[in-house]
Amino acid sequence: MLLGEASGTPAGSIAMEPATSPDAILYWRPGCGYCAALRRRLRKAGATIPEVNIWDDRTAAAVVRLVAHGNETVPTVVIAGRALVNPSAATVLDTLRSVAPELLPPPGTAPPPRRWRRR
Report the pLDDT averaged over residues 103-118. Answer: 69
- How close are the terminal C-alpha atoms of the chain, in Å? 43
Sign of the Cα pseudo-torsion (118, 108, 23, 64, in order): negative
Task: Please give the C-alpha separations between residue 95 and each of 14, 36, 63, 79, 115, in angstroms, as whole numbers.
Answer: 21, 20, 19, 8, 28
CATH code, 40: 3.40.30.10
Q: What is the pLDDT of residues 11-70, one digit of tens each?
A: 333 444 343 446 899 999 999 999 999 999 999 999 989 999 999 999 999 999 999 999
| 30 falls within a domain | yes
Residue 64 resides in a domain: yes
Please tell me the pTM assigned to this model.
Answer: 0.75
Q: Which residues contact 5 (CB under 8 A, 6 or more apart)?
A: 11
Domains held by the chain: number: 1
Cα 24 to Cα 13: distance, rounded to the nearest angstrom:
15
For 65-89, write each residue's pLDDT tens digit: 999 999 999 999 999 989 999 999 9
